[in-house]
């Protein structure tokens, strides 16, 4: 029933998509466009990973670029499809609470399966990261190195879990976009800022080159992995 009530989002999404495509006026749309220009120009091959997909706004933007550029990137959607987990400790803040952004997998599929995106081109990985991002998952999905990673899961705890899991897929030239780098009033001890800093301290073989700012809260980085391109 809940899905049926949300079904109009699917039609709405198609109309919004058409409008956005011709006039890339949203910051995330421009950011993703720049990212794929960078990836194409540098001949970087890999897959698209998004952590926090909700109703597929940025997921569709990535697909539009992949399709337009004729790239082979497979798209992976990592989400609970039940909204944010309960927030505790450093994740408590004015913007986020448990259950916010709840959207079922069926409703997500309705939103993104437009403009030629078929099920053979994308894979949802369902569940809270704490339980879904396992070692076993690595052999269950044919994920290649990451070309673009879009982090939109809002919380420090979620971003930390995502980072621990993606480590083997990072290559020099992987672009990481944080949709919410400057939320929590820009507090460097919260959210994505803290997760990235701690990851870089823990794994010194990686460095993260400041790249583009986008919107009021977004920031992107270029991964450098010591030892070259792989």
Ligand X SMILES: C[S@@+](CC[C@H](N)C(=O)[O-])C[C@H]1O[C@@H](n2cnc3c(N)ncnc32)[C@H](O)[C@@H]1O
Site residues for ligand X per CB under 6 A: 52-58, 79-80, 83-85, 101, 128-129, 152-155, 158
Tell me whether residue 84 or residue 143 sits nearer to ligand X (CB atom). Answer: 84
DSSP letters spanning 45-77: --EEEEE--TT-HHHHHHHHHHHHTT----EEE
Residues 227, 230: Cα–Cα separation, whole Å: 8
Residue nearest to ligand X (CB): 52
Sign, Cα dihedral of 36, 42, 43, 49: negative
- The helix (H) or strand (E) run that includes residue 176 is strand 175-178
Q: Which is nearer to ligand X, 94 or 227 (CB)?
A: 94
Comparing CB distances to ligand X, the nearer of 43 and 86 is 86
- Surface-to-core class of residue 174, CB atoms within 10 Å of its CB (0-12 exposed, 13-18 middle, 19+ buried): buried
User: 107 is written with which tokens?
Assistant: 């409703």
Shortest distance in whole angstroms from residue 101 CB to ligand X: 4
For ligand X, give the closer residue by CB, 17 or 152: 152
**Alpha helices (H) along 75-155:** 105-112, 129-132, 135-140
Task: Give strand pairing partners of 148.
Answer: 48, 175
CB-based contacts of 126: which residues, under 8 Å, 6+ apart?
79, 80, 81, 105, 132
Return the number of the residue (102 or 200) whose C-beta is nearest ligand X: 102
Q: Which two tokens stand for residue 229?
A: 């391109």
């Amino acid at each position: 029933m809940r899905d049926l009530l949300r079904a109009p989002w699917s039609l709405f999404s198609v109309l919004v998509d058409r409008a956005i495509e011709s006039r890339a006026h949203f910051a995330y749309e421009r950011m993703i466009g720049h990212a794929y220009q960078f990836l194409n120009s540098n001949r970087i091959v890999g897959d698209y990973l998004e952590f926090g997909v909700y109703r597929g706004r940025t997921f569709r933007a990535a697909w539009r670029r992949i399709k337009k550029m004729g790239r082979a990137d497979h798209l992976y959607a990592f989400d609970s499809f039940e909204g944010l987990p309960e927030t505790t400790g450093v994740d408590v803040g004015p913007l986020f609470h448990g259950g916010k952004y709840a959207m079922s997998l069926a409703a997500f599929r309705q939103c993104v399966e437009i403009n030629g995106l078929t099920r053979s081109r994308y894979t949802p990985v369902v569940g809270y990261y704490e339980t879904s991002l396992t070692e076993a998952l690595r052999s269950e999905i044919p994920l290649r190195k990451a070309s673009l990673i879009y982090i939109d899961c809002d919380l420090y705890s979620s971003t930390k879990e995502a980072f621990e899991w993606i480590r083997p897929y990072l290559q020099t030239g992987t672009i990481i976009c944080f949709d919410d780098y400057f939320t929590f009033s820009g507090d460097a001890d919260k959210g994505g800022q803290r997760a990235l800093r701690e990851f870089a301290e823990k794994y010194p073989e990686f460095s993260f080159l400041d790249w583009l700012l986008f919107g009021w809260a977004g920031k992107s980085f270029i991964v450098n992995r010591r030892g070259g391109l792989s």
